[in-house]
Chains A and B, each alone.
Chain A
Amino acid sequence: ETGVTQTPRHLVMGMTNKKSLKCEQHLGHNAMYWYKQSAKKPLELMFVYNFKEQTENNSVPSRFSPECPNSSHLFLHLHTLQPEDSALYLCASSQDLEGSSYEQYFGPGTRLTVT
């Protein structure tokens, strides 16, 4: 496996379900991100982790709970979601947060539908 992988690629869940999204990067990067992409909107940053520590929570509702057990893995735990949370959830990684390492590498995303 190379690059950034995400599972599952598609997920349909009810509002009372609990599910988790998984992201794994094989690039040796230190920073990982969760983004949300809704239709016709810019990519919205949700969370940033650097060396497993959360450095940014962009006012995300508590029904989204991130977990970063190590620099290679990132999870997004979902519970009691709303239909408006249906979107494409993208994971990304970068070498670090500073200097010239601006380039982020993205996974293919998880298409989430909340019914």
Chain B
Amino acid sequence: DQQVKQNSPSLSVQEGRISILNCDYTNSMFDYFLWYKKYPAEGPTFLISISSIKDKNEDGRFTVFLNKSAKHLSLHIVPSQPGDSAVYFCAAPGRRALTFGSGTRLQVQP
């Protein structure tokens, strides 16, 4: 049973536009969420997080929104840049480690 789901395997946007990556979860006990970014041939790197006591967290061009009633979070990147092209994973702390979604591959077209 996949507790963290990313239903869009890929997304393509134009440089300068907004990228919106979505993530759904099933476990209402999750109280913290993280987004990781992964380039080819590298391990995932932490990008931004949000606690369940907030509904928004912003860091530069990256903003994460949390809708607890819908069990949904989204990562907004604006403006998108070609260097943002990567696979993005959302994650939540499980019993002993992070539970990851399957990832969304973002391609930002110049």
Contacts and interface: CB of A to CB of B under 8 A. Distances in A.
Given A40-B102, A42-B103, A43-B89, A105 B97 contact: no
A90 B43 contact: yes
Contacts of B34: 102-103
A41 B41 CA distance: 16
B107 interface: no
Chain A interface residue number, banded: 20 to 34
B9 A40 contact: yes
Contact of B102 (A4, A42, A102, A111): A42
A103 B46 CA distance: 7
Nearest to B3: A42
A112 to B, nearest CB: 14
B46 A42 contact: no
A92 interface: yes
Interface of A: 4, 6, 9, 33, 40-43, 45, 48, 55-56, 90-92, 97, 102-109, 111
Given A45-B94, A90-B43, A103-B46, 5 more contacts: A4-B43, A45-B98, A102-B32, A102-B98, A106-B36
